[in-house]
Chain A
Amino acid sequence: MGRQDGLIVTTSDRELWERASAGSSEAFGQLYDRHARAVYNFLYRRTASWSDAEDLTSAVFLHAWRRRADVVLDRESALPWLLRAADYTVRNEWRAKRRYRRALAAAHLLADHQRDHADDVIGRLDGDRQLEQARSALDHLPRQEREIVELCVWSGLDQQAAAVALDIPLGTVKSRLSRARKHLRALGITDTFVETSS
């Protein structure tokens, strides 16, 4: 976003992505500015660890950059695609971290970063217990339904964006959401999401 003649001009994700794909690191930096927080929190809820989420956030963006030719934007937003990359990155955590370190080495930036003390403080927040409980509820669901809940409930994507994030048809998103609600209701979960009709 920039300011021009008194007007706030918003550059779309699509435009930034096109510039980044053409080699503009600054455009990619703006995409990072825009979506790092959402990716970071998605990763936290997936890994239940702020420090793992932190490490993986940069790996997600590197993965997204390297797969830039395959990008699918949802109504100009890159977030669903980035969350797809985040899902892949969590599944391949060890390799993702190793790739990122190799990329750093190749760019001559490799250094041993001392973890900030504040990271440990964040890691001790009471929220960890809350997340643990929410995750344990989700763990009763099949993986496909878990993914839908993570995206639509925890990350706030609408159904169309979730379809892009999961690379599945919109109809499949709807049916998985419906099944997830039924399962959670049967488990005695009384969340707003569960009580919402499909």
Chain B
Amino acid sequence: MNNLSTPPDHDLPAGVRRRQRDELVAIIDHEAEAPRRRIAVPLLAAAAVIVVVAGLAVAVPALRDNSTPAPAGASTATQPKVAASKKPAAQPARTRELSATETAAFRNQCIAFTQYSSESFADYQVVHAFEYVGTARPSLARSWLVTRKGADYWICTRDGRGSVVGDSGFGPSISPNGKDVPYLFAPVDQRGTGGGMYIPSVARVTVQHTGEPAVEGVLKDGFWFAPMEDAKLTRDPKGQPVRPDNGLIGVTPGWTIRGYDGAGKLVYDSAKNGPAVKKCYSNPAATEVLVINAVKNPTPATCQKMFDWR
């Protein structure tokens, strides 16, 4: 051997090239969306503009005791106008707490999953670790790890195959620049895969995938959890991945989220009055516009009121 000649360049095999391109596009779509979801800012549609706070001082609620019934109408926000309906039958929620060993393994998975985040999941203390028993299919969210550091919460979710499928955070350190942070866009606000938060007057949450029976959610400390999955990517005529969009903030396309008060009255139905991306949002007292989105000249009077978490 007396020279540095190497074989001529090759192209990637066409099938591999196509697959890799599709995978990368889908990953980037997913990862570009995930941080927005994580910081709880409603940028699910492209044209969203957020009012940035100067000197934000946010008191995130302490964990609520779920055993204490929340008084109806405790929220200062205007309640949504949803027709009362009979309490529908839903598959009951059967859950079990994870053992210490299971929790430790789950936590390690979450640490690995979130390794590129600016915050370290390892710094958060586990508050709840549980899973649904008997979900309809493995792709649905099944187990959750709820962690907390001070006023911040970080929730990590696995599907029925045991793979981490998402995480979501809420709190002043995780979301330092969102003026909407202490508030919810809906009485039952979805944040991440198969979970979110609810206002105190909500006593029951159900989720329903199109064409399937409703499933009972589990309520813990102001957070709700239910076996859901992200919307499946579809393909456009050119074969490029397309992410379904229902125009709602947080609500997974193809799913309906409902909330009921203590008397069993339907108080929220995402299919009827889910939080639209095209709207602007004010604080619950309607004194300040917090989220503009694409609305021109928004005023507190013309925007949707957000909801107090407590």
Contact = CB atoms under 8 A, between A and B. Distances in A.
Interface of A: 20, 23, 25-26, 28-29, 32-33, 36-38, 40-41, 44-45, 50, 54, 57-58, 61-62, 65-66, 102-110, 113, 116, 118-119, 122, 125-128, 130-131, 133-134, 136-138, 149, 153-154, 184, 188-194
Contacts of A127: 6-8
A37 B6 contact: no
B240 interface: yes
Interface string B106-122: 00000011001000000
B15 interface: yes
B101 interface: no
B113 A102 contact: yes
B24 interface: yes
A58 B13 contact: no
Interface in B102-149: 112-113, 116, 139
Contacts of A191: 2-5
A122 B16 CA distance: 13
B141 to A, nearest CB: 12
Nearest to B240: A26
B23 A134 contact: no
Given A23-B33, A40-B12, 8 more contacts: A38-B9, A40-B11, A41-B9, A104-B27, A105-B164, A107-B30, A125-B7, A193-B4
A116 B3 contact: no
B228 to A, nearest CB: 13
B182 interface: no
B24 A58 contact: yes
A107 B27 contact: yes
Contact of A107 (B8, B11, B29): B29
Contact of B32 (A23, A130, A188): A23
Contact of A188 (B2, B19, B30, B112): B2
Given A137-B4, A138-B4, A36 B20 contact: yes
A36 B1 contact: no
A106 B164 contact: yes
Contacts of B10: 40-41, 44, 50, 122
Given A103-B27, A108-B165, A118-B13, A130 B4 contact: no
A159 to B, nearest CB: 17
A89 B47 CA distance: 35
A106 B30 contact: yes
Contacts of A41: 9-10
A134 B19 CA distance: 31
A138 to B, nearest CB: 7
Interface size of B as a range: 35 or more
Contacts of B23: 58, 104, 107, 109
B27 A62 contact: yes
A128 B11 CA distance: 15
Given A25-B28, A106-B30, A116-B13, A134 B21 contact: no
Contacts of A133: 1
Interface of B: 1-13, 15-17, 19-34, 112-113, 116, 139, 163-166, 229-230, 232-233, 240-241
Contacts of A109: 22-23, 26-27
A26 to B, nearest CB: 7
A161 B20 CA distance: 26
Contact of A122 (B4, B13, B116, B233): B13
A188 B2 CA distance: 6
Contacts of B5: 130, 134, 191
B32 A25 contact: yes
Contacts of B116: 66
A90 to B, nearest CB: 16
Query: Which of A105, A122, A192 gathers most chain B CB within 10 Å?
Result: A105
Contacts of A25: 24-26, 28-29, 32, 241
Contact of A131 (B3, B7, B233): B7
Contacts of B16: 54, 116, 119
Contacts of A62: 24, 27
A3 to B, nearest CB: 16
B139 to A, nearest CB: 8
A36 B12 contact: yes
A57 to B, nearest CB: 6
Q: Which of A23, A32, A38, A126 is the most central at the interface, judged by chain B CB atoms within 10 Å of its CB?
A: A23
A196 B112 CA distance: 49
Contacts of A50: 10
